[in-house]
Amino acid sequence: EQHLKRNMENRTKVTEFIFVGFKSHPGLQLLLSVLFLTIYVITVAGNACMILIIRMDSKLHAPMYFFLENLSILDICYSSVITPKAALTFSLDRRTISYSGCASQMFFFSLFGTTEAFFLAVMAYDRFTAICNPLLYEIIMNKRLCVFMVVGSYLSGCINCTIQTSFTFSLSFCGPKEINHFFCDVLAVMHTSCSDTLVNEIVMLAVCGSIIVGTALVVFISYGYIIVTIVQMPSTESRHKAFSTCSSHMLAISLFFGTVFFMYAQPGATSSPDKSNTISILYTIVIPMLNPFIYTLRNKEVKRSLKKQFKRK
């Protein structure tokens, strides 16, 4: 009875968590801090530029660019949830985060991460409609549907982050309170719990797995039809034009789904914290920075608009 009482007291005592990700490499701390801050500044600047270019050029007021603008807003939010806090953790060695701070970080990270997966699926459907049904494109991809798809993506993200956060924080935390990560990732927080996490792991695998597989299926089916349509095009010029509008999106998709699948949609995902720390740097910090560059460098319309804006200046 006394042991049970002490255990209950310990459970209520956990008011904060300590990040121990990358702590075993003291020489890395400052380097990681500078790297994270630099990436964050580039992410915010790159995505803000993308938003401005699309807003200022009326020729870019089309569904494809509406989704790109929303992706840029999402990437700024996604990166802001993790990168500044992680950079401070490494530079000032402030490795603690409050219980409620950890819960809110997990909530918003799950929200923006899930929404990004749905956005990429929506953008694949947009490209499929543009290339496979060009004559009906403007009728199908009307403003109402575009807004509905963006709102739907956020709502899906909301459902997932509510499930993940509520399930994770319904566990008991009675110490140690060390999180083997640099942010409050679902798996890492789950591993600090003194409860049995089997149900949580099954729920996470089922929910995240179905989201990743579902959105990836939309992407693969869309691109399957797109590739068949491009191959059947009569002229080399039209084939090249169609492919150039899709290649940037294909690269962004491969990066995002490749890393996320490795992290959450395979049964062995929970077993290697060190490997997952390194991989999560890719999809939480590097990909939001790369997206505006991928879409700008591969997109003639955006490059033309950029040149126009510079000439004006």
| Span 47-106, pLDDT tens digits | 999 899 888 888 888 898 899 999 999 999 999 999 999 888 888 777 889 999 999 999
Cβ atoms of 249 and 127 within 8 Å: the answer is yes
- Confidence bin at 268 (pLDDT 50/70/90): low
Looking at per-residue pLDDT, the higher value among 239 and 112 belongs to: 112
pLDDT at 266: 57
Residue 11 confidence (pLDDT): 47
Section 296-311 average pLDDT: 69
Predicted confidence band of residue 4 (pLDDT cuts 50, 70, 90)? very low
> Are 269 and 263 contacting, i.e. CB atoms less than 8 angstroms apart?
yes
Average pLDDT in the 36-42 region? 94
Give CB contacts under 8 A, 24+ apart, made by 251-256.
251/294, 251/298, 252/120, 252/287, 252/290, 252/291, 252/294, 252/295, 253/120, 253/124, 253/219, 255/282, 255/283, 255/287, 255/290, 256/116, 256/117, 256/120, 256/283, 256/287
Closest to 182 in 3D by CA, of 256, 69, 39, 284:
284
Q: 16-265+275-298 domain in CATH 1.20.1070.10?
A: yes
Q: What is the pTM of this model?
A: 0.86
**Which of 83-97, 204-218, 232-246 is predicted most confidently?**
204-218
Position 96, amino acid? T
Residue 30, pLDDT > 60, answer: yes
Helix segments in the chain, DSSP class H? 2-13, 28-56, 63-92, 99-132, 137-140, 143-168, 186-191, 198-231, 236-264, 273-281, 287-297, 300-312
Structure confidence at residue 221 (pLDDT)? 94
Higher pLDDT, 232 or 147: 147
Residues facing residue 274 across a β-bridge: none
As beta bridge partners, residue 179 has 19
